[in-house]
Amino acid sequence: MKIHRWLFVVIFAGMFSGCASGLVGKLPEVPDKNNASEIIIIRPYNYMASGTSAYVSFDNNDVLAIRVVQYAKFLAPAGNHAIGVRYPGFPINNMEMVLTPKMKYYFGVSVGFSNFSLIPKTEAEALPYIETSNYMPLEPPK
């Protein structure tokens, strides 16, 4: 009977691991919103890892957790930055980039064998996914 209880605890914990969605850290500080870039993260449906949140980071700090068929956006200061994504408990898969003021940057979350990755997209490539996804507002906890 003890084995059954232990198995139940393991299965129950597994069902709820990686279920976070929304803001999980601090949004980047943007001193001048008129000189900021907009980052749009899209997570299309994919059966692989669909039960796991993808944790998106900015300058090596987790910002948000996103689930399948969701998209989120946030402002970021212009300049040199690292944007990345990871499975919970794994290292961040970063990409270095230079953000230009007043530009929009679209990224799709792609599922790999051992980690997520961000794929840059054009606005034309991103819009069909945005139109069929749920917007996830990023609001600080109250």
pLDDT tens string 17-47: 445 779 999 999 999 999 999 999 999 988 7
Q: Cβ(100)–Cβ(78) under 8 Å?
A: yes
Q: Cβ(28)–Cβ(58) under 8 Å?
A: yes
Given CATH 2.60.40, say whether it is the number of domain 19-135. yes
Q: What is the pLDDT of residue 55?
A: 97
User: pTM of the predicted model, to two decimals?
Assistant: 0.83
At 75, the amino acid letter reads: L
**d(Cα 142, Cα 113) in Å, to the nearest integer?**
36
Q: What angle do CA 118, 119, 125 make, to 5 degrees?
A: 135
CB contact burial 117-141 (16+ within 10 A = b; e otherwise): bbeebeeeebeebbeebeebeeeee
Could you state, in order of their start, the residue ranges of all structural domains in the chain? 19-135
List, for residues 65-97, the tens digit of each pLDDT value. 999 999 999 999 999 999 999 998 899 999 999
List, for residues 93-111, the tens digit of each pLDDT value. 999 999 999 999 999 999 9
Q: Could you give the maximum distance between any two Cα atoms of the chain, in Å?
A: 63
